[in-house]
Structures are given as structure tokens and as C-alpha cells.
Chains A and B, each alone.
Chain A
């Protein structure tokens, strides 16, 4: 007997043909940069997965830190992480940032188009 699912596929669209794919530039990683990137990846895999606490922003602080370290270096990336994690998380954020839905969860939109 063939069972027909009651819930329709939420995404019935065919895969979109992507015309514009930006080439990802090769990132030269020194020792400190690769160490800091590995540390953030270790944190994402082992600590964040098991933690209840969630970053209210999108992208999350760890992803933001990775991006900044790749773009701006270890020192600036770490200082921007400190700004993001220590200075920005307060009760005023809901007035200052817009909301975005990611996987059914509302997050604060902290994406800038090439502003950093």
C-alpha cells in the first residue's frame, strides 16, 4: 500500500539555476590566523552545539568572527568579536536592529552589504 503524505512539500520549487557565482578568493592563512579559525570551528562544533544559550544576531558571533578574521586579520577580527559579543548584546538591540527569520527562529539582522 502506498502512503501519501498529508503535508505537502514545503519547497516544491526546482533547484534554481545559479548564474552569478562569485569566485571565492584564496585566503592566505598564517599560523595565528589558522589557529584562531580552528578555535572558532572547535567552539562551534563542541561548545555551541551543546549550549542552550543562542546568539540573538544573524550571523552569529562565531560566524561573524570567522568572517572578520579571514578578511581583516587576527587582531582586528578579535577586537570586532569583542565589540560584537561584549558591547552590543543589551536590551536596546530590539530597537536598533531589524528582525529576520532563520529556520523558524527570529534573529536580529546584522548583515551589512560589504560595509565592513
Chain B
């Protein structure tokens, strides 16, 4: 009788452990949740419970920013032939989000698009839009976000999502600074390229350093020509001047690129934070 009770209790333990692990996930205690899911994986032979646990482990790893481990668990589940549709889109979404959060949007897009075919929910559509945004495909990003808003019934959320799409459209029209123009400006007047990109103090420093070192080299050249009659230190002086001059031009180019990248990065981070609010 005791043996029968113990035998009957065994499957119930798995559900209890899984419930406890789910509770830990809700509390954002991902490390312990992973331990509990792995405990179930070790003892349980039921495929559906095992795949569910592996899905949750992958999600916990992703939430803990351990993307490689999350992707490997999700891929192992996705490689199973007989898999529930529910688990398939969850793992596909997990892989897509892991790549996206790991700054690999070109790898995330195929997974997120596949997920949207299986489950065209709001969050999935927004994730696809976010992947397009990270790939600088502004038109596709705003189109996808508008499609997600169109299908909504809740007017408050619909308005928020529509505003998101409008902000993407506005950002795509924001003028970018040309690195070529910045380089040319700095070649003509040292520091002007940095000022063109908004780095005013950098411009002042570039101008002062380049001008003072160039002027010193020229004064040295005049001195050596007049007094010594032969040029020795002048060559060193002009080499150093050329380094500072080229540094000013390269710096202007890099500043313009940085400015463009920083604006895009800050904008996409803000959109990502808004999108992640809708994660189930």
C-alpha cells in the first residue's frame, strides 16, 4: 500500500517541481528556476514536460543575459520533430530575442519572422519591427508596428503603438551627419569637422593643438633655414604636425559616425524598452 502511494506520487512531484520553478521564474529568480527545471529534466521521462522545462530554461538563460546557453537549449528543442506548436513558437521567439538582445539583429530576423507566422501576437509583431529597426530598415519597422496596432482592440494600447510607429517614421527623417563632409571641413580648418558633429570642445582642442604644433614647426623651419642653413629638426616637427593634422581629420570622420550611431543606438534602446513591456 505504501509502495503504491509512493508510485502514484511520483508524477505529481514533477508537476509540483515545475510549478515551483514557474513561481521562481515569475519572481525573476532565474538562477534557482534553472536549477529546479534541470532537476525535473534529470528525473522526468515525459517528453512534453521535458520540452517545456527546456523551453523555460532557455528563457531563463536569455533573461539572465546568458544568450549562448539560451540559444543552445532552444535549438535543441526546435530540432525535435514531434513538438507542440506552442513550444515551437516560444523557442523560435526565444532564439530571435536572444540574438536581438545580443546585438545580432541579422540573425534574429529569420527566427522572429518564423515566429510571427506561427503566432502573430502583438509582442511578436513588435519584436519583428524592432529587428527591422536595429537593421536600420525604418520603413519596414514602422509598417510592422502599424500592422500590430491595427489588429488591436484596446484603444489605449493602440494609441501607444501608433505613436511608436510615428516616432520611427520621424527618426528616419532625422538628418545624419556625413563623415565625408566632416573630414573635408577638418582638412580645410582643423576642428570644424568636430564642431559640425556637435563636439564643440573637441573642435577647440583640435584647432589649438594643430595650429600651435604647426606654427611651432613653421617657426622651427624658419629658424633652421636662417641660422643653421640646414633642416634637421624641421622634418621631425613637420612629421609630428602631419600626425596631429591627420588625427584631426580621422577624428572628425569618427566623430560624425559616432554621433549617427549614438542617436540610432539610444533611439532603438528606447523602443526596445517599450516593446519589452508587452512581453508575456
* Contact pick for A16, options B68, B199, B205, B251, CB 8 Å: B68
A49 at the interface (CB under 8 A from B): no
In the complex, the answer to whether A87 meets B257 with C-beta atoms within 8 Å is no
Are B199 and A115 within 8 A (Cβ)?
Answer: no
Q: Does A51 contact B (CB under 8 A)?
A: no
Q: Cβ of A78: which chain B residues have Cβ within 8 Å of it?
A: 243, 247
**With contacts A16-B68, A82-B247, A92-B199 known, is A115 near B206, CB below 8 A?**
no
With an 8 A cutoff between CB atoms, is B258 at the interface?
Answer: yes
Contact A116 B209 (CB under 8 A): no
**Chain A nearest CB, measured from B260 CB (Å):** 9
Of the residues B64, B68, B200, B206, contact of A17 by C-beta under 8 Å: B68
CA distance A51 to B243 in the complex (A): 26
Q: Which residues of B contact A17 (CB under 8 A)?
A: 68-69, 72
Asked whether, in the complex, the Cβ of B247 is within 8 Å of the Cβ of A86, the reply is: yes
Chain B residues whose CB sits within 8 angstroms of the CB of A87 once the complex forms: 194, 202, 205-206, 209, 247-248, 251
Interface residue range, chain A: 20 to 34
Task: Count residues on chain B whose CB falls below 8 Å from chain A CBs.
Answer: 29
B278 at the binding interface (Cβ < 8 Å): no
Interface residue ranges of B120-134 to A (CB < 8 Å): none
Q: Which B residues are CB-close (under 8 A) to A16?
A: 66, 68-69
Residues of A within 8 A of B23 (CB): none
- Quote the shortest CB–CB distance from B31 to chain A (angstroms): 6
Quote the shortest CB–CB distance from A112 to chain B (angstroms).
6
Task: Annotate B230-269 by CB proximity to A: 1 below 8 A, 0 otherwise.
Answer: 0000000000000110111011001001100110000000
A24 interfacial by beta-carbon distance below 8 Å: no
Residues of A within 8 Å of B206, CB to CB, are: 83, 87
Which residues between 75 and 116 of chain A lie within 8 Å of chain B, taking CB atoms? 75-76, 78-84, 86-88, 90-92, 96, 98, 112-113, 115-116
Is the CB–CB distance between A79 and B72 below 8 Å? Answer: no
What residues of chain B have their CB less than 8 Å away from a CB belonging to chain A?
31, 64, 66, 68-69, 71-72, 103, 194, 198-202, 205-206, 209, 243-244, 246-248, 250-251, 254, 257-258, 261-262
- Name A residues whose Cβ lies closer than 8 Å to a Cβ of B: 12-13, 16-20, 75-76, 78-84, 86-88, 90-92, 96, 98, 112-113, 115-116
